[in-house]
């Protein structure tokens, strides 16, 4: 169970999801985000998780659960800043733009 705001950023939060929710989230990440070689620092895990939550298939997830799902989907990451809880991933800007347009 998630006890405080710091737990929201822990990867273990992914385990709080049911196995079908885990699969749904991972598949959504694979379907909607195209991998690129470099890290895209224009978007963080926190912003990208909201794209999932606002999608037709979406449901509430923590930042930590989203980060773990992206790792499971095969994405690479770097913290957005040295002490930041948010991560940036190797996601193409074009795939984020297409997704944003679809969510409008």
pTM summary value = 0.90
Burial of 66 (0-12, 13-18, 19+ CB in 10 A): buried
Q: What is the pLDDT of residue 2?
A: 42
pLDDT of amino acid 59: 98
Q: Which helix (H) or strand (E) holds 77?
A: strand 77-79
Query: What is the C-alpha separation between 104 and 102, in angstroms, rounded?
Result: 6
| pLDDT level of residue 9 (50, 70, 90 thresholds) | confident
**pLDDT band at residue 8 using 50, 70 and 90 as cut-offs:** low
Q: Where are the domains of the chain?
A: 18-103
pLDDT tens-digit profile of 37-92?
999 999 999 999 999 999 999 999 999 999 999 999 999 999 988 667 999 999 99
């Amino acid at each position: 169970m998630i006890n405080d705001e710091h737990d929201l950023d822990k990867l273990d939060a992914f385990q709080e999801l049911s196995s079908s929710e885990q699969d749904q989230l991972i598949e959504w990440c694979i379907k909607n985000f195209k991998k690129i070689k470099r890290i895209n620092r224009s978007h963080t895990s926190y912003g990208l998780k909201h794209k999932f939550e606002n999608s037709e298939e979406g449901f509430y997830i923590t930042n930590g659960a989203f980060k773990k799902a992206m790792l499971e989907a095969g994405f690479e990451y770097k913290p957005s800043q040295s002490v930041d809880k948010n991560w940036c991933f190797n996601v193409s800007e074009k795939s984020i733009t297409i997704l944003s347009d679809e969510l409008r």
